Structure 1
Amino acid sequence: MDLQALLFTAIAAFAIGLLLGPIAIPILHRLKFGQSIREEGPQHHQVKAGTPTMGGVIILIAVVLTTLRFAFDNLDTAMLLVATVGFGLIGFADDLIKILKKRNLGLTAKQKIVLQSLLTILLFLMLYLQQGRSEGFAIHIPFSNWALSIGVLYIVFLLLVLVGTTNAVNLTDGLDGLLSGSAIMVFAAYAIYAYWHTNYDVALFCAAMVGALAAFLAFNRHPAKVFMGDTGSLAIGGGLAMVAVLTHSELALILFGLVFVIEALSVMIQVFSYRTFGRRVFRMSPLHHHFELGGWSEWEVVLLFWFASFICAFGTLALLSY
């Protein structure tokens, strides 16, 4: 496989996404699948209330169709799609509950953890069946040839990777185009990384995700015509986590997706500080809201995060190439 195949895959997913947008968005409008805006968020976000959500279905359909058409027919491809669609369905259920009950709370935290854990167990069993994985599981240390074999305890590590990544990515979806553009950078870097390591099925999936996200960004850029909802953000997080697992770069994912990590940490720090000391570290969390309340325009914050995501993703790629 050559790089032209990756480019063609991305273009195909992009084209499918562009075609789906004008079809899906009016349908979401007619179904009155509008976004509820949390009251404690920035007040100028209230004008976004009613904007169609669950637009992540556009990303999911484009990625699935393109991957099934161009990627290899093997267990790796199956696991990538199970992770992406599986977490996407959890997000879909969350979005649907929010819409039907007209509130900003869908599935409870406990319900999400249970569903995500069950999906993780399924993916672990698929990994166990994969050739070469049945003899043991190892955590590969970035920038070295070391690997720590942990056997069946890998399921605990896998749970941390999948649940941690999906929720960190989900927290980043707070401004028009923020997650779409940031995720494009990470998947693009991973497409090259997987290609270098001859994980061609993973590389093709990443290329499909880049194309689908770029198409969605055409409708999601400020002012957004549609939001991806948890349907999209959890699907992106699940797919990204599985890419890291299949390329043995679970720890390196922290650097590839450092923007997502920082967003999640900002929430954890804020909650800990407020509950322990009664004081807030940030004006508001996740971190992108801190910049907004500091006087930055939404577009300025998005551009900053896109640039940071590019530096982190491709900087990590460059370091791992040595």
Structure 2
Amino acid sequence: MPSIYVFYIFLTSLFTSLVLIPNISRLAVSIGIFDEINERKTHTGAVPRLGGIAIFFALLLGVILFTEIDRGMRGFLAGGLVVFLTGLTDDLEQITAEKKFLGEVMAALIVTVVGDIRVTSIGDLFGNGEILLGFFSIPFTIFVIVGVINSINLLDGLDGLAGGVTAIAAAAFGFLSYIAGDNMMVGVSAALLGAVVGFLKFNSYPARIFMGDGGSLFLGYCLAVLSVHLVQHNYMSGVGSELTPLIILAVPVFDTLFVMGKRLVNGKKMFSPDRSHIHHRFMDLGLGHKTTVILVYGLSYFLATYAVMFRLLPDRVQLINLVLLLVFFCLANWALAKLLEGKDHRFLRDDHALINAFSYRWMVKYSHYFLLTVRYLILVILLLPLFIITGPSNLANSSVAWLLIVATVVLFLQTADQGNFFLQILIYFNGAFLIYVVENSGREVELLDVPVTFVSNFLFAMVLVCVLILLMLRKKTKFLMDSPLEYFILFIAVTIPLLPTSFIAPVHLLSVAGKSMILFLGLKMVVLLEARRNRKILAATILSLFSLAVKSFL
């Protein structure tokens, strides 16, 4: 599948989700479909819960318009419809757990039989050869699909939690499917990612709409089918271990196994609701809503990244990793339980109390030093083009540099406000152009016997670390993206990896985009906190541009 098609699918699902959700929210309010408030819920007001409708139709539209509807896709869509309607029925009129479970099994059976999507092998787990399932492939696949569906459903306990974890997993599955050449699952992953990202705009804390069971069951179903389809084709494509999808989904799967095991040990029903999930434990410990969600996001992201990077490890090694992860998960839950035994251990009181709990108040007091560090790191980054003496595109670089100098000077002279929005945007653009020059014309240049690109990588890493610390300490996250134009810049940067490799590789566009976004965050932080002290940054930008501009005459 061409990369541009992936972009089309993602964009279609994203905008469909964004358009549908406000209308569905109003519909849910008009017919009185709200999420019930009880001791397990964290919200205090009435919140509509039909967001799953938007997710389902957003994915459906993206898939139907741009993917081939073969046997596998027909089975996937048929099973998805069944599980979505099962969840939607539960949202509209509460059904028993048995009926819901029956709907999940039917959906799994449909996609397995109609779509011929099944787990035929679990890999070489013990070093004695591939373990083929044979006749047991169908019941095992149904068990896997139903298990993942319920793990995502049970994870849906905080605003944005299930959606964010799903988005991370969908991105990982999409990458692996792309490597495998599995066009069907690449399309499903892109559509799922777009639908969920659009939904998260309205579901992030404090949520304005919930996905309901119609959404959570469908998300679990999609992730389950992605896992099974990837495993089904692993040995043909050489993507990696059959256990890789399980590592990607380790957070919801292991949390479900732990909670159900604990309930059985305590003599409770497996599906009886309680507050024993890991996110509930974090909140009972005193962590705030946002902090808890971010922690789970971080853990999911780490595991997904690990699974992708080390996907080619032998199956038996992956099995050992999974066992160690499960042991760690159980120990972590045990430690949390011990902390919760006494009220004196509730030392975390809000989203930022973790800083105080570990005596980091001095970091808040002296956080301006991090701001100074960001400013001077950016100055060094912007001055790196001064060391670019030769390059194949100096004439073109010089022409662009002259244009940017004129535009910057004219705009600067027209306004006395150095925090002027358009001047800031132009500074961002100048910085991105200077990064492009360094990445393309400076790869053979050394600074004190160190390659300029290595220096650039180190500086950008330091900027990113400092910016993250500042965001945590100064609580300015919501002000980083405060205009449609800035979202548009972010959108362009995000879409660059989807462009054809033949277009990206020759000009190192991927590294340029990544560093440009880090520079954007750093510049935005400096402008945001001390807009009147940007003369040095402006001067460094013009100096580097001028050096590039005059080199065409040398």
- TM-score bin (small chain): 0.7 to 0.9
> Pick from 197, 201, 222: which aligns with 1:214?
197
Q: Which residue of 2 aligns with 1:252?
A: 244
Q: In 2, distance between residues paired with 1:151 and 1:142?
A: 15
2:316 matches 1:319: no
User: Residue 142 of structure 1: CA displacement?
Assistant: 7.3
1:150-173, Cα deviation, whole Å (9 max, x unpaired): 223212101211110000010110
Q: In 2, distance between residues paired with 1:96 and 1:89?
A: 10
User: Residue 51 of structure 1: CA displacement?
Assistant: 0.5
| Aligned amino acid, residue 47 of structure 1 | T
1:235-256, Cα deviation, whole Å (9 max, x unpaired): 0011111111111266432211
**Unmatched tracts of structure 1, length 5 or more:** 98-105, 277-282
Q: In 2, distance between residues paired with 1:321 and 1:4?
A: 28
Contact between 1:192 and 1:203, CA under 8 Å: does it hold in 2?
yes
TM-score (norm 1): 0.86
Contact between 1:142 and 1:251, CA under 8 Å: does it hold in 2?
no
Residues 265-304 of structure 1 mapped to structure 2, 5 A cutoff: 265-275=257-267, 284-304=275-295
Residues 46-195 of structure 1 mapped to structure 2, 5 A cutoff: 47-48=44-45, 50-97=46-93, 106-128=94-116, 138-141=120-123, 147-195=130-178
1:24-59, Cα deviation, whole Å (9 max, x unpaired): 1111111111111333x15xx2514x2000211010
Q: 1:108 to 1:252 in 2, by over 3 A?
A: farther
User: Residue 146 of structure 1: CA displacement?
Assistant: 5.3
Q: In 1, distance between residues paired with 2:310 and 2:6?
A: 22
Q: Which residue of 1 aligns with 2:381?
A: none
Q: In 2, distance between residues paired with 1:319 and 1:145?
A: 21
Q: In 2, distance between residues paired with 1:307 and 1:46?
A: 23
Q: Which residue of 2 aligns with 1:307?
A: 298
How high is the sequence identity, in percent, across the aligned residues?
A: 27
Q: Which residue of 2 aligns with 1:20?
A: 20
Q: 1:272 to 1:7 in 2, by over 3 A?
A: same
Contact between 2:24 and 2:50, CA under 8 Å: does it hold in 1?
no
Q: 1:165 to 1:65 in 2, by over 3 A?
A: same
Larger relative contact order (CA 8 Å, sep ≥ 6): 1
Contact between 2:80 and 2:107, CA under 8 Å: does it hold in 1?
no
Q: In 2, distance between residues paired with 1:212 and 1:168?
A: 20
Q: Which moved more, 1:7-16 or 1:206-215?
A: 7-16
Q: In 2, distance between residues paired with 1:117 and 1:213?
A: 24
**Unmatched tracts of structure 2, length 5 or more:** 233-241, 269-273, 314-554
Q: Which moved more, 1:263-272 or 1:29-38?
A: 263-272
Q: In 2, distance between residues paired with 1:81 and 1:246?
A: 14
Aligned length: 298
Q: In 2, distance between residues paired with 1:239 and 1:95?
A: 19
Contact between 1:83 and 1:239, CA under 8 Å: does it hold in 2?
no
Q: 1:146 to 1:242 in 2, by over 3 A?
A: farther
SS of the residue 1:47 aligns to = coil
Q: Which residue of 2 aligns with 1:280?
A: none
User: Residue 145 of structure 1: CA displacement?
Assistant: 11
TM-score (norm 2): 0.51
The CA RMSD measured in Å over matched residues stands at: 2.3
SS of the residue 2:36 aligns to = coil
Q: In 1, distance between residues paired with 2:305 and 2:83?
A: 26
User: Residue 209 of structure 1: CA displacement?
Assistant: 0.4
Q: In 1, distance between residues paired with 2:90 and 2:129?
A: 40
Q: In 2, distance between residues paired with 1:245 and 1:4?
A: 26
User: Residue 84 of structure 1: CA displacement?
Assistant: 2.5
1:39-95, Cα deviation, whole Å (9 max, x unpaired): 3x15xx2514x2000211010010001100011121222222223322111111111
| Aligned amino acid, residue 113 of structure 2 | L
Contact between 1:86 and 1:235, CA under 8 Å: does it hold in 2?
no
Q: In 2, distance between residues paired with 1:205 and 1:77?
A: 9
SS of the residue 2:121 aligns to = strand
Q: 1:311 to 1:4 in 2, by over 3 A?
A: farther
